Every structure is written in structure tokens, then in C-alpha cells.
Amino acid sequence: MIRSKLPNVGTTIFTTMSQLAVQTGALNLSQGFPDFNGPQALLDAVGRHVAAGHNQYAPMTGLPALRQQVAAKVARLYGVQVDADHEVTITPGATEAIFCAIQAVIQAGDEVIVFDPCYDSYEPAVELAGGRCVHVQLSDGDFRIDWQAFSDALSPRTRMVILNSPHNPSGALITREDLDQLAQLIAERDIYLVSDEVYEHLIYDGVRHASVLAHEQLAARAFVISSFGKTYHVTGWKTGYVIAPPALSAELRKVHQYVNFCGVTPLQCALADFMAEHPEHVEQLPGFYQAKRDLFCDLLQGSRFTFTRTPGTYFQLVDYSQIRTDLNDVDMALWLTREHGVASIPVSVFYQRPIPEQRLLRLCFAKREETLRHAAEKLCAI
Ligand SMILES: Cc1ncc(COP(=O)(O)O)c(C=O)c1O
């Protein structure tokens, strides 16, 4: 008998729903990835670097040119100066960055506060480090942080808080006032932050991202994480980065060098070139995805699903209580895939304690116009 270190982990709903979509030929709006390609100049650059022989190990901390581009971007967008050598680390995906940050500072018996609904990779990483997640529920409806509930969850064992804004699955945004509240509540405590900002450029309606990087007090104790996969429509490249003060970066790098050592060289070269040549890409991204959100939401207005337009990410939550009240969200997602040809993700899987009356599905709109029109047609026919 194997004594599992992660007894509660099974096949994730993302794998299950994507497999079911393939089996049934359903449109896959479940897992969060685009059905279109990244920018041609970026794809071409990879081929160029492979042909030029940039195929051996990259530096452990990441290609200097890419780290410099990351530093230049955060200076431009958030007005923050970070040291590309000592504060920026390139990782194989945001997932590895999250894992390494947690392993770097969490000790046996430590508590980590996470907010439900919660992205699924945090808790297993905390458990492997010997820690324990304390789940605080975001408010029902608008998915804001309840600072009283957060304050009640703090204990002498709390060692980390994991923030995620824009938030998967709800799209909700953390505001500057939220960050001030957090800074005040943890000011006298020895607590680190992981700020998962992989959707930092996917914010709509003219709202600006409140990055933890731009909050001096919080940035001093934070690992701020992002993903080139999300930003450049290349999720399969699994390339991300983490920005943290030098002492925290040094600890994170100790773990990262034995988990992966480094990210894929020609991908890093291509990203560095593309970021240098096309700084406008990140500035155009909100408009690009807002058009998709608005198209999809306009079309869904003809359905019996109810929703509020998502303020961020490429996920739209929809409430199905006017369609079927007899099904919980997992059964609804299965029914929708099998009977109506659209795969989604049930929101209850993001909760430690699901809200029984909640009837929400998450749909990914990082799709071509034709996919969105086709999916909306099917959803409007129900
Ligand atoms: C909130 C959140 N964090 C992290 C990740 C992982 O990013 P990456 O693919 O770069 O590992 C995702 C991907 O879906 C995500 O939604």
C-alpha cells in the first residue's frame, strides 16, 4: 500500500471535462486556453532561435534579456523598479513559481490563508510543504474579500496569504483599498504573500490592475507571479515569472533549481525578442479580450442563463437556475456537455465547502469568434 502524500488529489475536473468534450465532440469552453494561435512574430522567433542553436540550458534564473524585459514592463505599467538580476526569476509556468514560492517559505505546521473559490494548485503545494490551508470564503455574488472573515482566520501560525487577482474563476478584482486593508491587518505579523496575477492584463472597462508590486509594504514580503502563457496566447509553453525581493528570490531559486533548474531556452529567447519589439501587445490585450467578452455576453443575452459581465480574466460565470434547479453544478456541466455540446467548469469544485444553493458554471471565452457564436447558439437553444 502506498501512503499517499496527497490522499485527497484525484483527476481534476479540468482534465475530466476536456476529455468529455473530446469524447462527445462538444465545444470546449471548460479549460482556460485559447483556440487561436499566439502572434505570428512570436512563433517565428522560436523557429529562428532553434535554428540558431539556442537549444541548451538557459541560466537557472532565466535568460537575462527576458528578465530585463519583465523589469521594463513592470516599470512601464506599474511604475515600479525591480532588479532584473536579483528580483526576477523565469519559471516553467506560473504553476512552478507558485509551487517553489510555497516550498521556499512554508514549514511544517504553518497555515496559509486562501480564498474560496480557489485555484486548484495552491493547496497540494501547501500540503507537500507540511502546511495547512485555511479557507476564507469570498462573498457570495460579487466575490469580494470579507476582511472581517479574513481577520478572524488569522492565527499565530499564519505564515502566508495567497491572493489571486484578476480572480479565477469569478473574474473579480482586488482593489487598492483591499491591499491597504491587508497591509494593515498583517503589518505586525511575520506573513508572506503569494500574489497570483497571471491575468494581470485581462481587465476590462478601463479599470487598472492593482498589482501587489505597486504596494510598497506588501511587495516587500511578496512573490508576485505571472504567466507568459496567458499573456501571449501560448499556454502550452508553460513559461512564467516571479518577482520577489532579493532575499525571497534567493530562497525561491534554491527550490526552483532542483525542481526544474530552468525554463525552455528558445521560448525565453523568443519572448524576450517579442516583448522588446511589441511592447504594445500587453496594452492592447484588454481591448482584445473585452471585445470577446462583449460579443459572447451580447449573444448570451438571448439565453436563459443569467450573468454579470466579468470584470477580468477570460472566464464568464453564468447562473443556470432559470434552466434546471434539479441539478447540482457538476451534473449540470455533464448534462450540458453530453446533451447540448458545450463543456464548462462547475464552480463548486473551487470550494472546500461548496455553497449548496449556488448554480454557477464557468465558461472560457478565449475563443475565436466563430467558436463563441457556435457555443452561444447552443446555449440559447436550451
Ligand atoms: C489563477 C491561475 N494561476 C496559475 C495558472 C497557471 O499558469 P501557467 O499555465 O503559466 O502555469 C492558471 C492557469 O490556468 C491560473 O488560472
CATH number at residue 242: 3.40.640.10
Residue 137 lies inside a defined structural domain of this protein: yes
pLDDT classification of 12: cutoffs 50, 70, 90: confident
Residue 1 lies inside a defined structural domain of this protein: no
117 lines ligand 1 (CB under 6 A): no
pTM of the model: 0.98
Q: Tell me the best of 167, 227, 239, 310 to mutate to test the pocket of ligand 1, counting ligand atoms within 8 Å of each CB and taking the most.
A: 227
Beta bridge pairs of residue 364: 315
Query: Per the structure block, which three cell numbers stand in for 276?
Result: 522588446
Do 162 and 133 share a structural domain? yes
Residue 116 lies inside a defined structural domain of this protein: yes
pLDDT, position 54 = 98
Residue 252 lies inside a defined structural domain of this protein: yes
CA gap 66, 107 in Å, rounded: 32
Residue 4 lies inside a defined structural domain of this protein: no
Query: Per the structure block, which three cell numbers stand in for 208?
Result: 487598472
Q: Please identify, among 254, 277, 300, the residue that sits at the C-terminal boundary of a domain.
A: 277
CA gap 378, 102 in Å, rounded: 42
Distance 302 CA to ligand 1 centre (A): 31
Do 175 and 271 share a structural domain? yes
86-106 pLDDT, tens digit each: 999 999 999 999 999 999 999
Do 267 and 123 share a structural domain? yes
Beta bridge pairs of residue 319: 306, 360
CA gap 116, 122 in Å, rounded: 11
Q: Considering only CA atoms, which residue is closest to atom 1 of ligand 1?
A: 168
Do 305 and 234 share a structural domain? no
Do 241 and 189 share a structural domain? yes
pLDDT classification of 339: cutoffs 50, 70, 90: very high
Do 240 and 264 share a structural domain? yes
Counting the structural domains of the chain, the total is: 2
- Chain mean position to CA 355: 22
pLDDT, position 10 = 86
Residue 6 lies inside a defined structural domain of this protein: no
**Considering the chain, what is the average pLDDT of its residues?**
97
Residue 5 lies inside a defined structural domain of this protein: no
Do 216 and 335 share a structural domain? no
Do 376 and 242 share a structural domain? no
Atom number in ligand 1 closest to CA 227: 10
Domain extent, residue 90, equals 40-277
Do 84 and 195 share a structural domain? yes
Atom number in ligand 1 closest to CA 235: 9
Do 362 and 300 share a structural domain? yes
249 lines ligand 1 (CB under 6 A): no
Residue 288 lies inside a defined structural domain of this protein: yes
Do 357 and 230 share a structural domain? no
Say whether pLDDT at 177 is over 90: yes
| Average pLDDT estimate for 55-84 | 98
CA gap 313, 171 in Å, rounded: 5
Atom number in ligand 1 closest to CA 313: 16
Distance 94 CA to ligand 1 centre (A): 6
Q: Please identify, among 277, 301, 335, the residue that sits at the C-terminal boundary of a domain.
A: 277
Say whether pLDDT at 11 is over 90: no
pLDDT, position 147 = 98
Q: Please identify, among 249, 277, 305, the residue that sits at the C-terminal boundary of a domain.
A: 277
Say whether pLDDT at 13 is over 90: no
Q: Tell me the best of 30, 90, 96, 121 to mutate to test the pocket of ligand 1, counting ligand atoms within 8 Å of each CB and taking the most.
A: 121
pLDDT, position 97 = 98
92 lines ligand 1 (CB under 6 A): no
CA gap 178, 165 in Å, rounded: 11
pLDDT, position 14 = 87
pLDDT, position 78 = 97
Query: What does DSSP say about strands 192-196 and 158-164: parallel, antiparallel, or unpaired?
Result: parallel
285-321 pLDDT, tens digit each: 999 999 999 999 999 999 999 999 999 999 999 999 9
Do 210 and 242 share a structural domain? yes
